[in-house]
Amino acid sequence: MSDHEYTPKSKFGKWFNDRLPLLTLANHLTDYPTPKNLNYWWTFGGILTFCLITQIVTGLVLAMHYIAHADMAFDSVEHIMRDVNYGWLIRYIHANGASMFFLAVYIHIFRSLFYGSYKAPREIIWIIGIIIYLLMMAAAFLGYVLPWGQMSFWGATVITNLFSAIPLVGEGIVTWLWGGYSVDNPTLTRFFTLHYLIPFLILGLVVLHIWALHVPGNNNPVGIDVKKPSKDTVPFHPYIVIKDGFALLMFMIVFAFFVFYTPNILGHADNYIEANPLVTPAHIVPEWYLLPFYAILRSVPDKLLGVVAMLSAILILAALPWLDTSKIRSAVFRPLYKQFYWILVADVLILGYVGAMPAEGLYLLVARVATAYYFLHFLVILPVLGWKEKTLPIPLSITEPILGGSPNLATAKNKESLNN
Amino acid sequence: MKKFFRIFSLVILFSGFLLNIQAAEKIEYLKTDWSFKGLFGKFDRAALQRGYQVYTEVCSSCHSMKYLSYRNLAEKGGPEFSIDQAKAIAASFEVKDGPNADGDMFTRPGRLSDKFVMPYDNVQAAQAANGGAYPPDMSVLVKARGGGVDYIYSLLQGYEDPPAGITLDDGVYYNKYMYGNKIKMANQLSDGLVEYSDGTIATVEQMSKDVTTFLMWSAEPHLESRHQMGFKAIVYLIILTILVYFSMKRIWSRIETEV
């Protein structure tokens, strides 16, 4: 991985490193040449790592006090909130942490979309990222079931029932998932087990994600390949470490505000009512971060096709490196793509909004148009744009514009893009 | 620096957008100033104690409060009755205990460690006594209703004669804040229903406010320490952020580029 050989200074260090090159790894991580023009959108990778660790640590403590049993789960959560020392803090960090995690991952994904970070040679990083995102959604859904409130129970019922859309074996699969003929205690215990497992799978994939990143190195706002190491790059430590740290602290302020001042605003009130199989809530809605996909699901009148549309909406992202035919990575040099990018952002936000609303009347119509546009963007607009679009001239290196006389054109360009 | 303000404001905007989704279904509830709202929000001790009185004398004949123990009444951040007062309150309830050495169940006066005594033995008994409707447990009630405290406060004062054209079955009442306007709980509060020991005049409005404050505490018993810790945590984070910002500027000044 590293461009230069590393030899530890101490004799013991050398002895150890010859047997297990941990010190070489540490050296690689600190020296790792990073493009110096990375903007703050690039800090969300570090923020996401923080989110994952926070979820694992708080989750570990919660699991010590939580009881995965249909008759006791709700009570045990209240026990955590009332009687466990700082249990309320740990639970609110965990519950809001999930939302913060998704907020960060959406910014991370949309940064990738803007700067074309999924393009060659970074396809594998991107695909691992999509798998992580899928696992995150699974973990979030499973975790939402655990408090065993009304939304937990009915959310679990709705989502597991989606599998019944599969022809022939659907019903059988649903019974197998439930461990019975309805969502009940066996469902809760297995959901708890899986909810505990998935974060560690994510952790493993995050290691692969970073490993795959360190082979070609970071993309950058200009989207051109940089020579490493060169005057275009800075060592990861201390430059990127302090910058990521600064951004992380900003993020933590927002996080803390939610935890301490509006800890329940992102959840649904019905989840403070204990699960009751005999009473269906008026509106069953998922957590905000799943709403765009929920809107896509509901916008298709046929159940099976709805499920297919929802899954395709996520899986289509994995094909993105091949659907986007443009050789230019950064949207900064793609005037048309830049406009379509912001339309896509608006489209996804609209899908999220209608996903929270009842599926009827104008909301349903808007959801259908937005769903159609979502697929149109990836399947038609992106491939065609790659062939038709007239791109702006790209600089040869990050530092080149400076030599050309203009003060850091790359940053200027990048600012311009944020203004649009 | 400008860039990062943009990011920050985007994050804030996005959060605002999320809050908007939540707020979309809001109905206009009666407003009152809650002492526990805001960055330094604290409970009004006297209101909590009065609210407890309303709960025991009125609500508790039907509504349980299963997650609360009598010891909570003396804990910091709550109604803060003295230990002796809380002991006396607990002792005024008969608690079923057992089995004893002979295998028999028996009743004894309550202790601080006991949970609040339930008005009914089980859900079925509660339903049978209330025309089929289960009076919900009130421990986390304000968090379990969309409008929160404003909703409960309004509901208690929202009883009206049904508008023309709406006929109500026996045991069903009209309430303008209830979802669907039909509620199986009759109007419970009337002026002077309880006699407050601190001399406060027990108007319906006053009792609604007091008991809702009590319910907010029962749902969020650690609200005060949460607010206090939150303020410290955020101030700490802001100071640290500023320090890290200047360190970052210093470090990045070694190379010619803008952070």
Residue B27 in contact with partner chain A when CB distance is under 8 A: no
B167 belongs to a structural domain: no
Contact yes or no for A159/A303 (Cβ under 8 A) = no
The DSSP symbol for A398 reads: S
* Nearest-CB residue to B259 (from A82, A243, A291): A243
Greater confidence (B180 vs B141) lies with B141
| pLDDT higher than threshold 60 for residue A414 | no
C-alpha span between B15 and B32 (Å, rounded): 26
Closest in A256, A264, A272 to B237, CB measured: A256
Q: Does B241 touch chain A (CB under 8 A)?
A: yes
Q: Report the relative pairing of strands B106-109 and B173-174 from DSSP bridges.
A: unpaired
Q: Which helix (H) or strand (E) holds A234?
A: strand A233-235
- Cα-flanking dihedrals φ and ψ of residue A14, to 5°? -65, -45
Closest listed residue to residue B252, CA positions, set A38, A402, A397:
A38
Summarised one tens digit per residue, pLDDT across range A161-183 is 999 999 999 999 999 999 999 99
Range of the domain at B231: 222-259
pLDDT band at B19 (very low <50, low <70, confident <90, very high): low
**Ramachandran angles phi, psi of B173, nearest 5°:** -125, 160
Our measurement of the distance from residue A247's CA atom to the centroid of its chain's CA atoms, rounded to an integer in Å, reads 17
Tokens of residue A231, six digits: 């005057």
Confidence of residue A231 (pLDDT cuts 50, 70, 90): confident
Element (H, E) at B48: helix B45-57
Asked if B98 and B106 touch (Cβ cutoff 8 Å), the reply is yes
**Residue A168 token pair:** 């022939």
Query: Does position A353 have pLDDT exceeding 50, yes or no?
Result: yes
Counting every residue written for chain A, the total comes to: 420
Yes or no, beta carbons of B234 and A253 under 8 Å apart: yes
The pLDDT score that the predictor gives to residue B230 is 97
Q: What distances in angstroms separate CA A228 from CA A37, A216, A330, B51, one per listed residue?
A: 14, 10, 19, 68
pLDDT number for residue B51: 97
- The set of residues, in sequence order, having a beta carbon less than 8 Å from that of B215 and lying 6+ positions away, is B51, B55, B138, B141, B142, B149, B152
Give the pLDDT of residue A402. 45
Sign of CA dihedral A323, A327, A331, A337: negative
pLDDT of residue A397: 82
Confidence of residue A407 (pLDDT cuts 50, 70, 90): very low
Q: Is residue B244 part of a domain?
A: yes
Residues A197 and A142: their CA atoms lie apart, in Å, by 11
Q: Which amino acid is at A328?
A: I
Rounded Cα–Cα distance for residues A123 and A120 (Å): 6
- The pair of structure tokens assigned to A175 is 């019974």
Which of B145, B247, B255 minimises the CB distance to A36?
B255
Q: Are strands B94-97 and B106-109 parallel, antiparallel or unpaired?
A: antiparallel
Q: How many domains does chain B have?
A: 1
CA–CA separation, A226 vs B61, rounded Å? 74
Q: What is the DSSP string of A1-15?
A: --SS----SSHHHHH
Q: Which two tokens stand for residue B32?
A: 């009152």
Q: Output the DSSP codes for A59-107.
A: HHHHHHH----TTTHHHHHHHHHHTSTTHHHHHHHHHHHHHHHHHHHHH
Inspect the interface and report whether the beta carbons of A259 and B230 lie closer than 8 Å.
yes
Reported ipTM: 0.90
Site from A79, A250, A408 to mutate, B interface, most B CB atoms within 10 angstroms: A250
CB contacts < 8 A (A, B): 119
**B67 to A75: CB separation less than 8 angstroms, yes or no:** yes
- pLDDT at residue A303, as a whole number: 92
Rounded to an integer, what distance in angstroms lies between the CA atom of residue B115 and that of residue A76? 15
Which residue is closest to A103 within chain B, CA to CA? Answer: B11
Residue A401 distance to chain B (closest CA, Å): 12
| Cβ–Cβ under 8 Å, residues A148 and A73 | yes
Q: For testing the chain A interface, which of B39, B143, B149, B239 should be mutated: the one with the most A CBs within 10 Å?
A: B143
Smallest Cα distance from B211 to chain A, Å: 19
Rounded Cα distance, B27 and A88, in Å: 29
**With contact defined as beta carbons under 8 Å apart, do A236 and A114 qualify?**
no
CA distances from B40 to A372, B181, B223, B224 (A): 48, 35, 10, 8
Report how far residue A113's alpha carbon sits from residue A412's, in angstroms, rounded to the nearest whole number.
Answer: 20
B17 contacts A349? CB cut-off 8 A: yes
Q: Is residue B78 included in any domain, yes or no?
A: no
* % of chain A at pLDDT higher than 70: 94
pLDDT in tens, A243-277: 999 999 999 999 999 999 999 999 999 999 999 99
Single-letter amino acid code for the residue at B210: D
CB contact under 8 A, A252 and B24: no
Q: Which of A231, A253, A255, A400 to substitute to test the interface with B, most B CBs within 10 Å?
A: A253
- Out of A249, A260, A356, the one facing B244 most closely (by C-beta) is A249
Q: Over the stretch A295-315, which tens digit does the pLDDT of each residue have?
A: 999 999 999 999 999 999 999
Give the chain B residue nearest A89 (alpha carbons).
B226
Average pLDDT over residues B40-66: 96
pLDDT of residue B258: 60
Q: Whole-prediction pTM value?
A: 0.91
Q: Which of residues 21-80 of A touch B (CB under 8 A)?
A: 36-37, 39-41, 75, 78
DSSP-derived letter for residue B217 is H
B258 and chain A: CB distance < 8 Å anywhere? yes
Q: What phi and psi, each to the nearest 5 degrees, are found at residue B181? A: 65, -5
The residue assigned the tokens 């019944």 is A164
CB-based contacts of A316, cutoff 8 Å, min separation 6: A323, A375, A378, A379
Q: Categorize the per-residue pLDDT at A3 as very low, low, confident or very high, splitting at 50, 70 and 90.
A: very low
Structural domain contains residue B127: no
Q: Which residue has the higher pLDDT, A1 or A147?
A: A147
Reported confidence tier of residue B170, pLDDT bands at 50, 70, 90: confident
Question: SS3 for B174?
Answer: strand
d(CA B165, CA B184): 19
Measured in residues, chain B has a length of 259
Nearest partner of A120 among A212, A18, A38, A15, judged by Cα:
A212
- Cα–Cα distance for residue pair A106/A51, rounded to 1 Å: 13
* Domain membership flag for residue B212: no
Nearest to A246 among B136, B139, B244 (CB): B244
Question: What are φ and ψ of residue A232, in 5° steps?
Answer: -80, -10
Residue A229 CB contacts under 8 Å (≥ 6 apart), including other chains? A3, A31, A33, A235
Residue A280 touches partner B, C-beta closer than 8 Å? no
Helix (H) or strand (E) holding B126: helix B123-129
The reply to whether B249 falls in a domain is: yes
Nearest CA in chain A to B20: A353
DSSP reduced 3-state for B107? strand
- Which member of A89, A272, A353 has the closest CB to residue B140? A272
Q: Kindly report the nearest CA distance between residue B200 and chain A, in angstroms.
A: 31
| Residue B101 C-alpha, separation from nearest chain A C-alpha, in angstroms | 28
Asked if B11 and A254 come within 8 Å (Cβ–Cβ), the reply is yes
Listed residue (A109, A37, A110) closest to A338, CA to CA = A110
- Give the burial string for A157-184 (b: 16+ CB within 10 Å, else e): bbbbbbbbbeeeebeeebeebbeeeebe
Contact B204, B189 (CB under 8 A): yes
- In this prediction, residue A404 carries a pLDDT of 45
A91 neighbors A63 (Cβ within 8 angstroms): no
Residues 164-193 of B with CB under 8 A from A: 179
Contact A236, A32 (CB under 8 A): yes
Which residues are paired to B97 by β-bridges? B106
Instruction: Please report where in the chains the tokens 């100033």 appear, as a residue.
Output: B33
- Rounded to whole angstroms, the Cα distance separating B114 from A8 reads 63
Residue A43 has pLDDT above 90, yes or no: yes
Please give the domain boundaries of chain A with CATH numbers for all domains: 32-419 (1.20.810.10)
In a domain, residue B33? The reply is no
Is B232 contained in some domain? yes
